Every structure is written in structure tokens, then in C-alpha cells.
A and B are shown apart, each in its own frame.
Chain A
Amino acid sequence: MRRFLIRVIVFGAIIAACLIIMQASISFTRNRTLRLPENITTVYFGNSTLEAGINDSILDNSFNFARSSERIEFIYCKIRLLTEVNPQIDTIVVGIDDYLLYQPYGAEFHHQLSHPYYLAEYDADDLATLLKNTSFNYLTSYLSHSHSIKKLRLSINSHHPKDLEIGGYVKLDRHKLKEDLERRKAGKPMLRSLDTLNRVPIYFFQKIRDYCKKEDLKFLLISTPKYPTVKSDSVYRQFRRKYLKDVPLYDYSCIALPDSCYGDCTHLNVSGASVFSKYLEENGFGKR
């Protein structure tokens, strides 16, 4: 029995060592894969509303690193990773809406969202917060989905953050506003309140604020245009008033754009992204 247990422990230790070596060797590629051109000083993070809504080729010195179904705990990692490798970055813009705040933490998330680079960015408090406030399904999917051969291959071969397939502007060629309006009329409205908010988004939004303060980065919140007749998601405003009072919020959710700019009620399509991005550029959004 003793011999068996010793062998099991030794084998486990060897596997753990292999995983640490693998994680460490991936880290060597970070500086190359996350390097942005020197002129990039503003980076956008968020979910699909920002992924489709900000055309960074129109905005000067900007890079859109938003991703569909993004989670705030990954945005935190991405901010740390990018700013560590790109000291020229001075402005962090995070798209905020109820979808980002109310991501589920009781279930597994899509395996494409996590990345091997992220784990090393968390400290003990971050991990404790995740352990206390998420489910086993969430944690196990994180651990089991972080290291796939595709992600490892992308990490080794990439020369730009976009190549990692964890963010980047996506031209949304969609024109389903009418269908989406009909679907929303037929469905029940989502009732959300701050009371039901998981601790994780509160923690990581504040962590981002503190990190930006410490690194002397400008931290801005933005909400992209939403179709006017849709009931506005207002919990994120309450959230910002309660937890991020000192962070400026540029709330463009209520500005009216032509119907042709909307892919659906909450996402701008290619035309909409172009109009909105030009508007931000002309108004000097985010510039010091």
C-alpha cells in the first residue's frame, strides 16, 4: 500500500511540475504576442456590444480588445497583461451593461473565453473571491478549458493580441432589428436588481479601478448605443453609482441612431459602429 501511495504522489507531483513548466513556457511568449504598436494608447474592453460597436480603425491610437460573452474577471486579466507589455497605454475603456454584470457564475462558461495567460494574473485574493462566489462547474470549466492545443498553438504563433482570438473588433453584418423587437415584445422583461448581483463583478470592477489608479491609467466606462424603444438596462447605472462613483461613465445608450445602424436592439452593425466610432473620434473621446 505504501509503495502504491508513494508512486501515486510522485506521479502527481511530476504532472503538477509538467503543468507548471507548460504554464511558464507559455508565459515566455507573452511579450511577443501581446505587443501592440507604439501609437496605441487607448484600449477598449467589453462584451459583444463593444466588440461590434467600436471600429478601432476609425479611432486614433485605439485598439478594441472586446469579446463576445466576455467576463469581467477576464477583462481584468487582459488589462493587466496588455498594460504590463505595453507601457505606452494610458487609457482603459470598459464597456458596461447588465449583460456583463449578470454573467452566470453557477454554470460552465464557453471554453473559448479562457486563456492560459489569465491564471498567472490572479493573486490570492482574486482566487479566493472566485472560489467563494462561483460554482465548481465554473472553476472546473476554467481549469479544463484554459489549456487546449489550439490556444497553446495560438499563443506560440501569435504576433498580435488579435491573433489569440480572445478579442478584437468584429464587423457585425446583421440587420435583424425588427425580428429582435418582435421577440422582445413577445418575451418577458428580465427583472434584475443590485441585490441579486454576484460579488465577482463588484470585486473585479473595483480591482480594475484600483489597478488603474496605481498604474496612473485613465479608467473610463462606456455604454454603447441601444435601440431607443428597448427598456433601458438601468442596473449598471445603479452599480456604477454605488461601487464606481469616481469612474466616469460615458453613457451613449440613449443616443438615437438611424435604424440601419442597429444589427439588433443591443448591437450596432458595421454602419452603426462606423457612425459611433466617428462620433467618438470627433468628440475627442478618451483623450487626455
Chain B
Amino acid sequence: MAIFNLQNLIASRNYKMLFNSFIFLIYLPIVFIGYWFIFRKLRIQNVFVVAASYVFYGWWDWRFLFLIFLTTITCFISGISIQKSESVTRRKIYCGLNITLNLLILCFFKYFNFFSDNIRILFQQFGYQLDWFTLDVLLPVGISFYTFQAISYPIDVYRKKITATTDIVAFTAFISFFPQLVAGPIERSTNLLPQFLKERRFNYSKAIDGSRQILWGFFKKIVIADNCAMLANMIFGDFESYNGVVLLIGAVMFSFQIYGDFSGYSDIAIGVSKLFGIELSRNFRFPYFSRDIAEFWRRWHISLNTWFRDYVYIPLGGSRCSKIKIIRNTLVIFLLSGLWHGANWTFVVWGLYHALLFIPLILTNKNRKYLDIAADNRMLPSFKEVLSITATFVLVMIGWIVFRSNNITEGFEYIGGCFSLEGKGLAEFLVGMKTTFVATILFIILMQAVDWTQRYKSYGLQICESLSLPIRWLMYILITMLIVVFAGEQAQFIYFQF
């Protein structure tokens, strides 16, 4: 009799293939061995990548495999059709049809109930009772990410930035590559697709660098984000009882939760890709060291923001038009960015808030003031930089409060509560939580300190090889043991819900 019940394993409904799950620890070495040792020829290796990626995605919900396949096929065919067409009109039609179809799919799964509920409420305000229906639509995991990634391809073919590929396997691998499938980075065909069209060779330095990045990603996710999540959830879940000091702490905790969670996931995704000889795009550049909102948006979720810039903002005219149009274009991308995150007015308000912060900078041509790194060529920032960084962080944190809240009213009530001294204070909140709280604060400081000293690098733990081997290994072992001992209560990656 098998010592382990495989039926239990497969049948368990709660069984998700998260990066920080034991099943992924089993899955990854199997895929790694298959990729480098068994399926070594290019084409068969790509087939294996597709199979492994579909297993990865299907583990979440096999019913939506058809959907990702549909997106893949439509984009592949439209790419070839666009490439073959001589007529500009026909190229536009193919491109437009493909975008429309895939966006309709995305909107249906993501926004159907949101819009139907809001239309019904709107009609009710005028006294009309709509006999509307809502569907209990499940949201396929990662649909926002892979849909954007997929529809950028026919646009790039249309713009002649890339030649349409006829290799369906490589293209499917590009769309479904498992490390970045469910939560990004949103890759461009010009970066990722060519890597599936040429042979990959194992590179020791890249693999070591990838392993290091995975470790750092796990540290940010498991030690920072999960512990911050525990504290933030307690405060946000009962915010009316706490005073302003505790609410501010809750906001700070959520700010680092979402950063640790999302940038940690991106680090793991990029690191895992490096193990397979694939380079993904950078998604975060230490955003909490930004000196203004414009710089923040050049450093946070870079793949999504550049996507909106290249495929929405610039086609609308970008910054090379009248001031009214610049305001319009800025509002459009930030509102779309908010809506991309989910079907809730909180995300729309969050996007609008950032638009209102961004517009003055762009109108005064100050949006590109800080293109360098804070404290460039210096160890410590100047007093002015400290103020700018702190002010930017506070502004961003206010946005996160609305982002995190269940609805807009709660969001504003929370913000209002930050200025009140009524309610349970810090001492009461910390009963039974002191160790976790202090440890979490210390680790946030540690993470920021490491990120600060490494702000010229791609990620915090990208230490140079000039450090001796024993010291490097001591650091890796220490970080791993910190992950084991200080692991918070496991929480799903936040951005999986988008």
C-alpha cells in the first residue's frame, strides 16, 4: 500500500500550487530535471514547458485551461493574419477583432456582475426596478495578466516591432510560461517570445543568481508580507475600535504587505525563470524610495504601467498634445489601472486618487524630475530626500487604505480615524502580539536597509561575488532559517485575485 495517499492529494480542493507551498517544492525540481536532462532539444523542450505550465495552471482550476488556450490560439492566428496582410485596414481589423474578443472575455469574467449590479442600482435611484440577472461568475486566476500579455502581441506585430511567429508551441510557451502566468510580470513578446525561439543553455551564474532571487522573494513574501498581513487584517477588520495610532500602523503594515507580497512574488517568478535560462522583465525598482509620485509609478508594477503607457497612453496622444488631452489621457490610464485590479469602486477611486496626484506633475513638466536613484553616489539621503521619500510614502499609503478597504465609505472612515485618538490604543492592540509586532517591524527595517544598500541592483540580495563564499552562504542560511522560524500565517499572494 502506498505510504502516501495520492488520491487525497489530488482530490483536495484547497490544494493550490502557490510558490510558497510544498507541492511547488516537489513540482519545481521535477520540471527542472525534465527541462535540462530529458527534454533537451528546443522544440520538445518548449512542448514540455507548455505541458508543465498547463499542469501548473490546471492545478488552480482545470476548467479554465480552455480559456487560456482560446486566448493563445486567437492571438497566434491574428498575429499571422496581421503579418500576411498587405492592407493597413485589414491589419487594423484583425488586430482590433483580437483585442475586442480577448477584452470581452476578460470583462465578462471580471466585470459582468460589477456592471450589472451598478446599472441596477443606478436605475433604482430613478425608481426603475430592473429585472436583471447576475451570474455567479468565477474569476479565472491570472486572467488579467495573461490577457494583457497576449493582446500586446498582435499589437506589436501590427506595429512591426516583432515578426509574427509560426511556431505555435513557442508561442503557447510564451503565453503560458508558468513562473509569470498567474501574477506577472506582464511580459512583452519582444522580450520573452524570442527566448522560446532559440536554444537555451544552462548558465551556472544565472542559476545561482536566480536561486538567490528566489530566496529573497520568499523572505519578502513569507517573513514580511505574511506577518504584516496578520497585523493589517486585525486592524482593518475592526478599524472602528482602534485609535489613530493603531490605524496608521495598520496602513503601514498593509503598505509593506502588498509590497512584500507582490515584489516577493515577482522576485520568485524572475528567479525561477532564470533557473530555466529565461530572463523576465523587472517589475519593481524599490518603489518606496521614490521621491515623488511620478517616480513611484516608474518603480511600482513596472510591467503593467509600461503596458498602459505603450498601448493606451501613447496611442491616445500621450504627453504630446494639449493640456486637456494630457489630463484626459492620464485619467484614462489611472482609472483603467484601478479597474484592472478588480471590480470594486475602491480600485477605481484608488486609480483616480493617483491620477490627481500625477496630473499636476505632468502639467508642470516635473514628472521626469527624478530619473536617477535617491542619494545617487552617496550612502545616505539628504534631508530633503528623506522628506520627499517620506511624503511620497505617506501619499501612497493613503491610497493603499482605500485599495485595501471593503468599500469606499470604509476607506474614508479609516482615513478619518487616523486623525482620532478615540478607541483602543497600541498597548491594547499588542496584547499577545508583541513579539510578532516587534519582529515584523525589525524585519521591515532590515528589508529596507538591504534594499537601500542594494538599490543599484535588481533585487536586495543580489550581493556581489567579491564577498567570500562562507559569508555569502552564512547570509543565505540565516535568511532561510528566518523564513522557517518567522513565517507568518500563510496567506495567498494578493495579486492572484487580480
Contact = CB atoms under 8 A, between A and B. Distances in A.
Is chain B a partner of chain A in the same complex?
Answer: yes
B115 interface: no
Interface in A225-246: none
22 contacts: A1-B36, A7-B208, A8-B211, A11-B476, A15-B480, A18-B477, A18-B480, A106-B8, A106-B14, A108-B490, A111-B489, A132-B1, A133-B5, A134-B8, A136-B12, A136-B15, A137-B14, A144-B487, A145-B489, A147-B484, A149-B436, A152-B485
A1 B204 contact: yes
A19 B36 CA distance: 30
Interface in B456-498: 473, 476-477, 480-481, 484-487, 489-490
Given A3-B204, A131-B3, A18 B481 contact: yes
Contacts of B1: 132
B477 A4 contact: no
B14 A4 contact: no
Given A7-B208, A132-B1, 13 more contacts: A4-B202, A11-B473, A14-B477, A18-B477, A18-B480, A106-B12, A106-B14, A131-B4, A132-B4, A132-B8, A135-B14, A136-B12, A139-B22
A108 B435 CA distance: 23
B439 A135 contact: no
A254 B90 CA distance: 81
A123 B275 CA distance: 37
Nearest to A151: B485
B9 A135 contact: yes
Nearest to A144: B487
Given A149-B439, A149-B485, A150-B435, A136 B9 contact: yes
Contacts of B9: 135-136
B3 A140 contact: no
A284 to B, nearest CB: 38
A148 B436 CA distance: 10
B207 interface: yes
Nearest to A8: B211
A153 interface: yes
Interface residues of A, number: 35
Interface string A59-81: 00000000000000000000000
Interface in B33-83: 36
Nearest to A140: B22
Contacts of A19: 484
A106 B14 CA distance: 8
A4 B208 contact: yes
Contacts, number: 82
Interface of B: 1-5, 8-9, 12-15, 21-23, 36, 202, 204, 207-208, 211, 435-436, 439, 473, 476-477, 480-481, 484-487, 489-490
Contacts of A120: none
Contacts of A131: 3-5
Contacts of B490: 108, 141, 144
B8 A135 contact: yes
A181 B484 CA distance: 44
Nearest to A131: B4
Contact of A153 (B36, B435, B476): B435
Nearest to B205: A4
10 closest Cβ pairs, A-B complex: A135-B12, A140-B22, A132-B5, A131-B4, A4-B207, A1-B202, A137-B14, A150-B435, A135-B8, A149-B485
A4 B4 CA distance: 30
Nearest to A165: B432
B14 A108 contact: yes
Contacts of A145: 487, 489
B272 to A, nearest CB: 14
A19 B12 CA distance: 28
Contacts of A18: 477, 480-481
B15 A135 contact: yes
A24 interface: no
Contact of A140 (B5, B21, B202, B436): B21
